[in-house]
Structure 1
Amino acid sequence: MSAVALPTRWRSVLPHLGHELPPDRTPESAGGTGLQVNLPLVLARQSIQSKEYWDIPAEVVDAYRAFRPTPLWRARGFEREVGARVPIYVKYEGGNISGSHKLNTALAQAYYYARAGAKELVTGTGAGQWGTALAAACAMFGLKCTVFMVGGSLRRKPYRGTLMRTLGATLHASPSPLTEVSRNRAAGDVNSLSLAIGEAVEYAGRTEGAAFCIGSGETYSILHQSVIGTEAIEQLQRLDARIDTVVGCVGAGSNFGGIALPFFADAASRGADQPLLVAAESSATPKLTRGVYAYDQTDATGTGPLEAMYTIGSSYPIPDSHSAGLRFHGAAKLLSAMRHRDQIAATAVGQVEALEAGRLFTRSELVLPAPESGHSLAAAAKLAAGGADGMRSEHGVVAVVSGHGYLDLAAYQQLMDGELVNEGPLEAALGTAMASLGRVPVDEPAGSLG
């Protein structure tokens, strides 16, 4: 393992993109006004300004010290198990109270919202890592916290709910009886992170002193996650490691963005060749590999701004699977714009393959990864061995293990009992959900990787 100094600045990729992100649109359903979210101005600036480095507030740096820097090591045992031709390095983000990378942005956002006068933060969460991270951050900065968690995940992982409540959060299973968006949902829409987020949006909008807070798809949340890649670059340099491929799993994109985009910015600033940046997504929600680049809503209320994203449609009925935190219907607008210009690549991984990779990693490295992280490890193994989707690493792979799997043991039990099958997309529903989406009018041709 190799440790480095704690980062005191976040690094933005925006100055190095070479293109602008498509502007958001106001949906017709909002009556020309759109949802008003009480977003602190500093977070808005972090999303749009072409400023490469942002100082991390001292209070947030102090909070990071409890778990950062995080370890990076060469996974030699895993290499042997998967027949890797090149080294595989892993960056581990599971060693904090939330058990995942989500705490990096939760602490930053809670700090900024508290400074802006918010009294309560409300959010939606899929597998529960984000909800747990926000509950912890709210406890640290003296805020109330309300979480709507996808009900299927909460039933599988009840102790995530216990942990959130232990941290002082109020927790609701989604769909809940508390909101109009839940009561008006489509039949069968019970595994949707979009719905959980929509419930949080509605609840925050009618609650005095409350603000909606999201942890993955926004550009500012990806910025906060840059501490992952910033540390990894220095750690790999200290190990004299030669890396040409970077891998992370993708729900909306903060984990992948956190590990990959600092490598993009570093190569661009030095005029060096770009590494291959591979987003590993769930085959049950294949927005980057099967979706369209279009304007779509980020939650089920239909009142928020429409964002340009790779999406399989916010109305798509998400299959029930252990992809958990990867089940969001779209990818972050920043990552989607980069995908559209072939600046990042993508591959889809089934839940059986992901959990098999996680099990191999547990036995060979004695670290139990979350199912989401298993998608990253499965992709890294393929890229380091024979290749995947026309891509392969020639010198070395670094993959981020986004969190631990101690609250996901039921998934591993199902794997070992032979009860898991890969949940592919529902083809007819996929076509229906994407049919009416407005494509992004960009001159450049769509991306072709993956």
Structure 2
Amino acid sequence: MSKQKKFILQESEIPTQWYNIQADMPTKPMPPIHPATKQPLGVDDLAHIFPRECCVQELDTEHRWIDIPEEVLEKYKFYRSTPLVRAYALEEALGTPAHIYFKNESTNPLGSHKINSAIPQCYYAKQEGTTNVTTETGAGQWGAALSYAAKIYGLDCAVYQVKITMQQKPYRSSIMRTFGAVVEGSPSMSTRAGKDILTKDPTHSGSLGTAISEAVELATTTPNCKYTLGSVLNHVGLHQTIIGLEAEKQMEMAGEYPDIVIACFGGGSNFGGIAFPFMRHNLCDGKKTEFIAAEPDSCPKLTRGQFRYDFGDEAGYTPLLPMFTLGHNFKPSNIHAGGLRYHGAGMIVSQLLKDGLMRGVDIPQLETFEAGMLFARTEGIIPAPESCHAIAATIREAKKCKETGEEKVILFNLSGHGLIDMPSYDSFIKGDLQNYTVTDEMIAANLAELDKQ
């Protein structure tokens, strides 16, 4: 009897609502607050930066289901559903009794899950009469997705890309420019925030915190311009739940249910996207699925950060967010998983972690590339360096099953492919990559800086 490899939904089966986990959380996320007044922010406070409907979704803790606009659904059909795939060859290579599945978000034209939120954010911006959008990007997956979404809605787009990642992944910025975006390496001399950062450190290689500062500054000083974000915030995770909602239906087609759900972790969008729909069954139906967020050993906010209010950017332009953080001025190592080099975790994930409803693991860079190479050689897909963290965490769990003999069902999110990341793989194959670790002293010193502000 032949074994089914892929499980694909018809267009008519694509979910028509996003899932808002805030409605089911036993402890709601603490609110974002104004850095000067320390008062909770409302929709009106946030709407001068973000599209208003995104602000409504950001603060909504009551409605479990949010309708996906019909026009957004039509755009989703360009590439959704994405396949759920059984990783038989990886299982065989590991000699594990575990059943490994992955949701393949790399099959869409932009190559990663980021487009799932770029489309609705640009749709909402267009609906309220916005003409320009701006953002930051690390690895460039979000910048590429936003550039495409802005183009299909007739919006001008400006992207600040982390400078070191722009050098590591030159074709990402080419993709953005192909879709008509203006791309600047961050920190740049085009904003006050960028100038201040370069004045302090002329060799600063950039971080997501610096790029966010520049993009927020541009949004607040440019008429009819809104800032968009590819991760961290609640409404971004909401849009990404299309991933897990599809996966639910597809796991049912496969006749299984996950014991463990895994995703890589930068700010939380693809983790929340795959995890939250399954987590609702833990919260509401007594399921016991385990949820694992895999982050870099060199940027370990979940495993070694502190839970506190902190800025989402380096210059301190954003509201203060309740998050597990390494400090907004944390300068991450130049690892090749540029999308995971963020100092903090999203508000929802931070609260879930605090409540013990999920856990983080930190993984050294070399282990992630070893996992990516094995996955490529068994399943035929070269994963993005970010996604390699999820694969490495999956391999760890599959090896535990080999030791115990347990037939656990493991589901992970393949958030993107690595076809534009081949210089990273070249460096790994040549032996030029290394692990970066952050000492407890470095983290403590960085967090101590926050207390002085």
TM-score bracket for the superposition, by shorter chain length: over 0.9
Matching residue of 1:422 = 435
Residue 239 of structure 2 corresponds to residue 224 of structure 1: yes
| Distance verdict in 2 for CA 1:345–1:32, change over 3 Å | closer
Q: Is the 8 A contact 1:280 1:347 kept in 2?
A: yes
Query: Among 339, 342, 345, which residue is 1:328 paired with?
Result: 342
Deviations 1:377-399 (A, max 9, x none): 000111121279xx998621000
Residue 55 of structure 2 corresponds to residue 44 of structure 1: yes
For residues 324 and 436 of structure 1, the distance between their equivalents in structure 2, rounded to whole angstroms, comes to 24
Q: Which runs of 5+ in 1 are unaligned?
A: 439-450
Q: Is the 8 A contact 2:32 2:40 kept in 1?
A: no
Residue 267 of structure 2 corresponds to residue 256 of structure 1: no
Q: Shift of the alpha carbon at 1:37?
A: 3.2
Residue 448 of structure 2 corresponds to residue 435 of structure 1: yes
Question: The residue matched to 1:248 in structure 2 has which SS?
Answer: strand
Q: Is the 8 A contact 1:191 1:319 kept in 2?
A: no
For residues 421 and 191 of structure 1, the distance between their equivalents in structure 2, rounded to whole angstroms, comes to 19
Q: Shift of the alpha carbon at 1:45?
A: 2.1
1:193 alignment partner AA: L
| Distance verdict in 2 for CA 1:83–1:167, change over 3 Å | same
1:415 alignment partner AA: F
Matching residue of 2:416 = 403
| Distance verdict in 2 for CA 1:68–1:393, change over 3 Å | farther
For residues 318 and 62 of structure 1, the distance between their equivalents in structure 2, rounded to whole angstroms, comes to 39
Matching residue of 1:17 = 25
Number of residues paired by the alignment?
435
Q: Shift of the alpha carbon at 1:426?
A: 4.8
Deviations 1:336-358 (A, max 9, x none): 01000001111001111111111
Residue 49 of structure 2 corresponds to residue 27 of structure 1: no
Question: The residue matched to 2:7 in structure 1 has which SS?
Answer: coil
Q: Which runs of 5+ in 2 are unaligned?
A: 1-5
TM-score (norm 2): 0.92
2:58 alignment partner AA: S
Residue 90 of structure 2 corresponds to residue 53 of structure 1: no
1:25 alignment partner AA: I
Residue 13 of structure 2 corresponds to residue 8 of structure 1: no
For residues 401 and 349 of structure 2, the distance between their equivalents in structure 1, rounded to whole angstroms, comes to 23
For residues 14 and 353 of structure 2, the distance between their equivalents in structure 1, rounded to whole angstroms, comes to 30
Q: Shift of the alpha carbon at 1:252?
A: 0.3
Matching residue of 2:333 = 319
For residues 223 and 257 of structure 2, the distance between their equivalents in structure 1, rounded to whole angstroms, comes to 52
Matching residue of 1:120 = 132
Question: The residue matched to 1:337 in structure 2 has which SS?
Answer: helix
Question: The residue matched to 1:357 in structure 2 has which SS?
Answer: helix
Matching residue of 1:444 = none
Q: Shift of the alpha carbon at 1:36?
A: 6.8
Query: Among 76, 87, 98, which residue is 1:64 paired with?
Result: 76
1:330 alignment partner AA: G
| Distance verdict in 2 for CA 1:76–1:24, change over 3 Å | same
Matching residue of 1:344 = 358
Q: Shift of the alpha carbon at 1:267?
A: 3.7
Deviations 1:101-159 (A, max 9, x none): 00000001000011011101000000000000000000111100000000111111111
Matching residue of 1:156 = 168
For residues 37 and 301 of structure 1, the distance between their equivalents in structure 2, rounded to whole angstroms, comes to 18
Matching residue of 2:230 = 215
For residues 352 and 225 of structure 1, the distance between their equivalents in structure 2, rounded to whole angstroms, comes to 28
Question: The residue matched to 1:415 in structure 2 has which SS?
Answer: helix
Question: The residue matched to 1:386 in structure 2 has which SS?
Answer: helix
Q: Shift of the alpha carbon at 1:95?
A: 1.6
Matches within 5 A, 1:174-185: 174-185=186-197
Matches within 5 A, 1:285-300: 285-300=299-314
Query: Among 167, 180, 184, which residue is 1:172 paired with?
Result: 184
Residue 387 of structure 2 corresponds to residue 373 of structure 1: yes
Poorly superposed stretches of 4+, deviation over 6 Å: 29-36
Question: The residue matched to 2:219 in structure 1 has which SS?
Answer: helix
1:247 alignment partner AA: I
Deviations 1:282-337 (A, max 9, x none): 11100000100011100122132100000111111111111210000000011001
For residues 167 and 173 of structure 2, the distance between their equivalents in structure 1, rounded to whole angstroms, comes to 9
Q: Is the 8 A contact 1:35 1:303 kept in 2?
A: no
| Distance verdict in 2 for CA 1:305–1:393, change over 3 Å | farther
Q: Shift of the alpha carbon at 1:55?
A: 1.0
Matching residue of 1:446 = none
Deviations 1:41-91 (A, max 9, x none): 321221222111111111111111011000111101111223323111010
For residues 205 and 40 of structure 2, the distance between their equivalents in structure 1, rounded to whole angstroms, comes to 30
| Distance verdict in 2 for CA 1:393–1:293, change over 3 Å | farther
For residues 26 and 40 of structure 2, the distance between their equivalents in structure 1, rounded to whole angstroms, comes to 31
Question: The residue matched to 2:413 in structure 1 has which SS?
Answer: strand
Q: Shift of the alpha carbon at 1:29?
A: 9.8
Q: Is the 8 A contact 1:23 1:307 kept in 2?
A: yes
2:411 alignment partner AA: V
RMSD: 2.1
Matching residue of 2:3 = none
2:116 alignment partner AA: N
For residues 199 and 393 of structure 1, the distance between their equivalents in structure 2, rounded to whole angstroms, comes to 49
| Distance verdict in 2 for CA 1:30–1:21, change over 3 Å | closer
| Distance verdict in 2 for CA 1:392–1:189, change over 3 Å | farther
For residues 40 and 298 of structure 2, the distance between their equivalents in structure 1, rounded to whole angstroms, comes to 34
Q: Shift of the alpha carbon at 1:374?
A: 0.2
Q: Shift of the alpha carbon at 1:433?
A: 1.3
Q: Shift of the alpha carbon at 1:193?
A: 0.7
| Distance verdict in 2 for CA 1:345–1:387, change over 3 Å | farther
1:66 alignment partner AA: F
Q: Is the 8 A contact 1:323 1:371 kept in 2?
A: yes
For residues 255 and 40 of structure 2, the distance between their equivalents in structure 1, rounded to whole angstroms, comes to 55
For residues 374 and 104 of structure 1, the distance between their equivalents in structure 2, rounded to whole angstroms, comes to 20
Question: The residue matched to 2:445 in structure 1 has which SS?
Answer: helix
Q: Is the 8 A contact 1:244 1:393 kept in 2?
A: no
Q: Which protein is richer in helix relative to its size? A: 2
Q: Shift of the alpha carbon at 1:182?
A: 1.3
For residues 40 and 70 of structure 2, the distance between their equivalents in structure 1, rounded to whole angstroms, comes to 40
